[in-house]
Amino acid sequence: MASLADLIESYIKQQLRSSENQAIAISRAQLAELFSCVPSQINYVLTTRFTLERGYMIESRRGGGGYIRIVRVNQGERPKLAEQLLLEIGPEISESQAEQFLASFRELGVLSVQQKRVIRALLQQETAQVPQGRARLRASLLRSLIILIMQCKNKNEV
């Protein structure tokens, strides 16, 4: 069963797909009313699932006539976003951070579903073998694998 956050995310993505210009303006209060939740739940979905790394820009205007404008970033801008995201992988990352990076790279179209699964499995397998320095190894492996895939895509070898 899908969580409330999943349902809100799906609803917003459906609204974006049906819009002409890949942008929508919605009221946080109306959205919270539609899903029978508090506005902070809407904020949570927006801040975790509609990030720039995942290909979205959010503009928020608070107050009586406040709204949230969500814009899907153009395909042409995605390679730049992917490169910026790659630079955000620090020297050490946790397993949950690695999962967030994988989700973001998948959203940006860098990874296929299969590639995401393979990388996740490799990260788990290789870091399980190391008694110390797992976070450092995880970051290094993730960065190297993403660079390899991006280079292969640029050469149409994937």
pLDDT tens for the 158 residues of the chain, in order = 679 999 999 999 999 999 888 889 988 889 999 999 998 899 899 988 888 767 787 877 766 556 888 888 776 777 777 888 888 898 999 998 899 889 888 877 889 999 999 999 999 999 998 989 999 999 999 999 999 998 887 777 66
3-class DSSP assignment, residue 61: strand
Alpha helices for the chain (secondary structure H): 4-18, 28-34, 39-49, 78-87, 95-107, 113-128, 134-154
- DSSP summary character for residue 51: -
In a 13 Å sphere around the CA of 54, the CA atoms on its Cβ side amount to: 19
Q: Can you name the CATH fold of 75-154?
A: 1.10.1200
pTM: 0.59
Beta bridge partners of 24: 70
Where do the structural domains in the chain lie, given as residue ranges?
4-72, 75-154
CATH 3.40.50.720 fits domain 4-72: no
